[in-house]
Amino acid sequence: MTIFFTEEHEWIAVEGSTATVGITDYAQSQLGDVVFVEVPPAGTAVEKGKEAAVVESVKAASDVYAPVSGQVIEGNAALEGDPALVNTSPEADGWFFKLTLSDPSELDGLMDDAAYKAFVDSL
């Protein structure tokens, strides 16, 4: 499994032709207490850089963008009843959706762990 990051603070964990997407620990710390998450239903076609989900905290409502293009396999149903999972476990239980990649080469432009750390430090 390889994990990549975007400048919009999404992470994407890739395993073969499928991947899991969520928002980073830095993103959740900036948002504050998450009170609502809307994830795309299975079957939704998402496009790299376009809105795929919505996250709402006590401070702000934000869009979550698809790091790569693909088709959604599953939205994280657990977030409906417990959106705070995004705060307590942003990079594990608080995942947003899983998808099949339509073009793995889109991963090329994304950051790895070290690059993302440097990016966050520069903010």
Partner 1 sequence: MRYLPLTDADRASMLDVIGASSIDDLFIDVPAEARLSGPVAGLPLHASEMAVERKLKAMAAKNLVAGESPFFLGAGAYRHHIPATVDHIIQRGEFLTAYTPYQPEIAQGTLQALFEFQTQVARLFGCDVANASMYDGSTACWEAIGMARRVTRRKKAIVSGGLHPHYVSLCKTMAKFTGDTLETALPDLTDGAPGDDLDRLIAAIDGETSCVVVQNPNILGHVADLSELAAACHAKGALLVVVVTEPVSLGLIKSPGEMGADIVVGEGQSIGVGLNFGGPYVGLFACAEKYVRQMPGRLCGETVDASGKRGFVLTLSTREQHIRREKATSNICTNAGLCAMAFTVHMSLLGEAGLRKLAELNHANAVAAADRLAKVPGVEVVNGAFFNEFTLRLSKEARPVVHTLAAQGVLGGVSLGRLYPGAEGLANGLVVAVTETATAEDVERLASALEEALV
Q: Which residues bind partner 1 (CB under 8 A)?
A: 36, 38, 41, 56, 61, 63
Helices (H), 1-123: 25-31, 78-81, 85-88, 113-121
Residue pair 19/65 in contact (Cβ under 8 Å)? The answer is: no
Residue pair 74/105 in contact (Cβ under 8 Å)? The answer is: no
**C-beta of 97: minimal distance to partner 1 in Å?**
15
Nearer to partner 1, 32 or 109 (CB): 32
**C-beta of 92: minimal distance to partner 1 in Å?**
25
**C-beta of 2: minimal distance to partner 1 in Å?**
32
The answer for residues whose C-beta is within 8 angstroms of residue 16's C-beta and 6 or more apart is: none
Nearer to partner 1, 82 or 91 (CB): 82
List 100's β-bridge partners, or say none. 18, 71
**C-beta of 41: minimal distance to partner 1 in Å?**
7
Residue pair 121/62 in contact (Cβ under 8 Å)? The answer is: no
